[in-house]
Structure 1
Amino acid sequence: MGEDTDSQVPGTSGRGAHVEGPFYHGTKSALVAGDELVPGHGSNFQEGRVSNHVYFTALVDTAAWGAELATALAGSGERGRIYVVEPLGPFEDDPNVTDKRFPGNPTRSYRTRSPLRVVGELHDWQGHDPEVLQGMLDSLARLRQQGLDVIED
């Protein structure tokens, strides 16, 4: 953080390392190839919050969490969606998981202030077992009650 990321090229993280895709974005939204995801929209994870970044990952399982949590928190009974995306600008490790929970970024989670272009939709992904998803939702609810559901954005 605090690094100059304006001079970086797509595919390069805020730490200057080249990061290989493919990249994925899990969401509740219906999108089509060519759509661009941009910051400045409501967060999937905190009601009333506008996100300054767009979040993505290089792991399908991490994107599945994003898709499942977004739909569950919205109260939707629908299956979430996972899109293959292309970052159109510099990005950095997501500090919400990297620094706080998983040093070294094993979830391969990133964020950007630049657009992500939707390349296509991934249809054959596996969701988490219902009890595992409920456990995560319960955990998030506990954090929220304790005022610890802070998102560094």
Structure 2
Amino acid sequence: MTKALDEGPFFHGTTADLKAGDVLTSGHRSNYRPEVVMNHVYFTALVDGAGLAAELAAELSGGGATPHVYEVAPTGGFENDPNVTDKKFPGNPTRSYRSAAPLRIVREITDWTRLSPEALQLWRDRLISIPPHERGEILN
């Protein structure tokens, strides 16, 4: 396990409507590969990175969901996200992490940077244009 770069605060983007004290757990389907049930909960030290994840989750759910960003606190150990760390990017510039333990919701963050409709369309086009067999393996 690689030593994590950050001590927090940490953030998670989702379409779930949560409140302080709630927990996020593993065992849910991936936003990016719905056929994969995730063994970890993912989070980042970048509030706008969590915002991007929330926007993409809303898009991938059919576009009708509301994106939310939450400050979260890991309840157990965590590691650098191996899906991006040294695989797609050297080091961990996305400051992305994962944990098999739950994340406790601290509070909702409302002042994150929303994507413009044009930027959201670019992300939508990118995701749609990648054939499922070329999306790469999720290290779960």
TM-score greater than 0.5 by the shorter chain: yes
1:53 to 40, 43, 63: 40
- TM-score w.r.t. length of structure 2: 0.90
Instruction: Note the residue ranges of structure 1 that are not aligned, 5 or more in a row.
Output: 1-13
Q: Taking structure 1 as reference, are residues 57 and 80 closer, same or farther at Cα in structure 2, changes over 3 Å only?
A: same
Q: Taking structure 1 as reference, are residues 135 and 70 closer, same or farther at Cα in structure 2, changes over 3 Å only?
A: same
Aligned to 2:69, what secondary structure does the other structure show? strand
1:131 to 118, 122, 133: 118
- TM-score w.r.t. length of structure 1: 0.83
| Conservation of the 8 A alpha-carbon contact between 1:25 and 1:83 | yes
Identity of aligned residues (%): 53
In 1, Cα distance between equivalents of 2:118 and 2:13: 20
In 2, Cα distance between equivalents of 1:18 and 1:137: 30
| Conservation of the 8 A alpha-carbon contact between 1:27 and 1:44 | no
In 2, Cα distance between equivalents of 1:146 and 1:114: 29
Deviation at 1:146, TM superposition (A): 5.4
1:20 aligns with 2:7: yes
Deviation at 1:24, TM superposition (A): 0.1
Instruction: Note the residue ranges of structure 2 that are not aligned, 5 or more in a row.
Output: none
| Conservation of the 8 A alpha-carbon contact between 1:85 and 1:120 | yes
Q: Taking structure 1 as reference, are residues 141 and 64 closer, same or farther at Cα in structure 2, changes over 3 Å only?
A: same
Matched pairs, number:
139
| Conservation of the 8 A alpha-carbon contact between 2:4 and 2:78 | no
Give me the CA root mean square deviation: 1.6
| Conservation of the 8 A alpha-carbon contact between 2:3 and 2:80 | no
1:70 to 51, 57, 61: 57
